[in-house]
Amino acid sequence: MTRETDIDSLFAQLRSAEPCIQDRGFSTQVLLELEQKAGLSFFKDALITMLFTLIGCLLSYAFFPIAEFVVLLPSSIHISPMSLLTLGGAVALACSAAYWTLKND
């Protein structure tokens, strides 16, 4: 760099020669991104989610063999060290999965 190294005059020189950066689609890109972000309104989004949840519930109620499922449930639960260990392991696994998901989000 062979130019004057006095900081103030250097900045003054650059200030007076600041280039006007051409838009070249930048504004359009910003506005497009904003439109995409805006997407559906909160209420429309909530309405669609609720509608599909309701359909899901109705279908489950109509087709899920709940009686057969209830028969499979144990009438009593015996807590053993092994079942506690399994439960602990499952909780640890779920926590690790949640942590990993959040970290990589």
Partner 1 sequence: MNLTDQALIDAVVKEDSHRAFAELVKRYQSPLRYSLRQLTGWNEALADDLAQETFSKAQSALSSFQGKAKFSSWLYRIAYNLMLSHFRVARNRELTGGLTGREEQSLWLSKDHEAIVPNEPLQLHRDLAQAMNHLSDNQRMALHLSLHRECTQREISDIMSIPLGTVKTLIARGKISLREQLADWKSRDTS
- Binding positions for partner 1, rule: CB under 8 A: 1-3, 5, 7-8, 10-11, 13-15, 17-21, 23, 26-27, 29-31, 33-34, 37
| Choice between 11 and 100, CB closer to partner 1 | 11
| Choice between 8 and 68, CB closer to partner 1 | 8
| Choice between 9 and 60, CB closer to partner 1 | 9
Give the phi and the psi of residue 65 in degrees, each rounded to 5: -75, 75
* Non-local CB neighbours of 11 within 8 Å, separated by 6+ positions: none
Buried b (16+ CB within 10 A) or exposed e, 70-79: eeeeeeeeee
| Choice between 20 and 73, CB closer to partner 1 | 20
DSSP assignment letter at 24? T
Residue 20 CB, shortest distance to partner 1, in Å, is 5
Residue 31 CB, shortest distance to partner 1, in Å, is 6
Q: What is the largest CA-CA distance in the chain?
A: 88
Residue 21 CB, shortest distance to partner 1, in Å, is 4
Tokens encoding 19: 């280039």
